Amino acid sequence: MNTMEIAKIKRVVKDTQRIKTFILDIDVSAIPGQFVMVWLPDVDEKPMSVSYTSGDMGITILELGDFTRRLCELKVGGKIGIRGPMGRGFKVYGDRLLLVGGGVGMAPLAPLAEDAIKEGKEVTAIVGAITAKELLFVERLKKAGVRVFVSTDDGTAGYKGFTTDVLQELLQKETFDQCFTCGPEIMMFKVLNIAEDKEIPTQASLHRYFKCGIGICGHCVLDGTGLRVCKEGPTFRDKELRKSHEFGYYWRNAAGQKIYFGVKK
């Protein structure tokens, strides 16, 4: 849906030191993995995953720059513009699901877990953050009936290290029908490699710089594929991502310059 709705903030939850969830007075009935374009008058319009997908919708914001800072200043009763839901959500077909989320990447994965549990599926989640205070939605997942493993870079909660270390160890002992991941791209790239070795089909939710958000400008195309992250994504199957020489290596900023995640290919 491309028309804009003006939504009122019903509730604000401080999830972590840097992350807040805004519950709005509109129901957009999104599929987990879909996003909305959020408009702040006189500031900008930017993409955000829908973190509460049915009933009153929610978005979960990590404060980074000007837009997210201005958004995080809003209080109950404040108004924002919402276009969406847009893009392709996750597609679930297995019974034993594995979720790997890093930081605010848990935003689209939490509603996926809740819906899957309601449908009688078995869900395991590996939730990672830099430190214990930045872990997102751990209690929400446990309350829904998800088996949760935690990792923190500094060891202040759960395993000291990365989600991908926990994943590697878990897959020595167990298998899953599907894996879903969202978070830093280096993490998702490793998740894909590890899951692929065990022949577990994986879907990842990608983050690219969006301009139009509706498939017109071409700014978010994944090199080598022609796939637009805002239209054919943001969730992609492993096979689609393998066709791109961009995934895991670089993204393009607002000016279209390549920004490498780590080493150049």
Ligand X SMILES: Cc1cc2nc3c(=O)[nH]c(=O)nc-3n(C[C@H](O)[C@H](O)[C@H](O)COP(=O)(O)OP(=O)(O)OC[C@H]3O[C@@H](n4cnc5c(N)ncnc54)[C@H](O)[C@@H]3O)c2cc1C
Sites of contact with ligand X (CB under 6 A)? 35, 46-49, 60-62, 64-68, 104, 107, 207-210, 234
CB of 35 to ligand X, least distance (A): 4
CB of 174 to ligand X, least distance (A): 29
**Partner in contact with 52, chosen from ligand FES, ligand X, none, beta carbon below 5 to 8 Å by kind:** none
Q: What's the rounded Cα separation, in Å, for the pair 180 and 203? A: 5
CB of 207 to ligand FES, least distance (A): 12
Q: Map residue 194 onto helix, strand or coil.
A: helix
Q: What's the rounded Cα separation, in Å, for the pair 103 and 134? A: 7
DSSP assignment letter at 155:
S
Q: What's the rounded Cα separation, in Å, for the pair 130 and 132? A: 7
Which CB atom, from 30 or from 123, has the smaller least distance to ligand FES?
30
**Partner in contact with 215, chosen from ligand X, ligand FES, none, beta carbon below 5 to 8 Å by kind:** ligand FES
Give bridge partners of residue 35 from the DSSP assignment.
49, 86
Q: What's the rounded Cα separation, in Å, for the pair 181 and 64? A: 21
> Other CB atoms closer than 10 Å to residue 41's CB: what's the count?
10
**Partner in contact with 140, chosen from ligand FES, ligand X, none, beta carbon below 5 to 8 Å by kind:** none
DSSP assignment letter at 161:
S
**Partner in contact with 116, chosen from ligand X, ligand FES, none, beta carbon below 5 to 8 Å by kind:** none
CB of 259 to ligand FES, least distance (A): 16
Residues of this chain that interact with ligand FES (CB under 6 A) are 210-213, 215-220, 228, 230
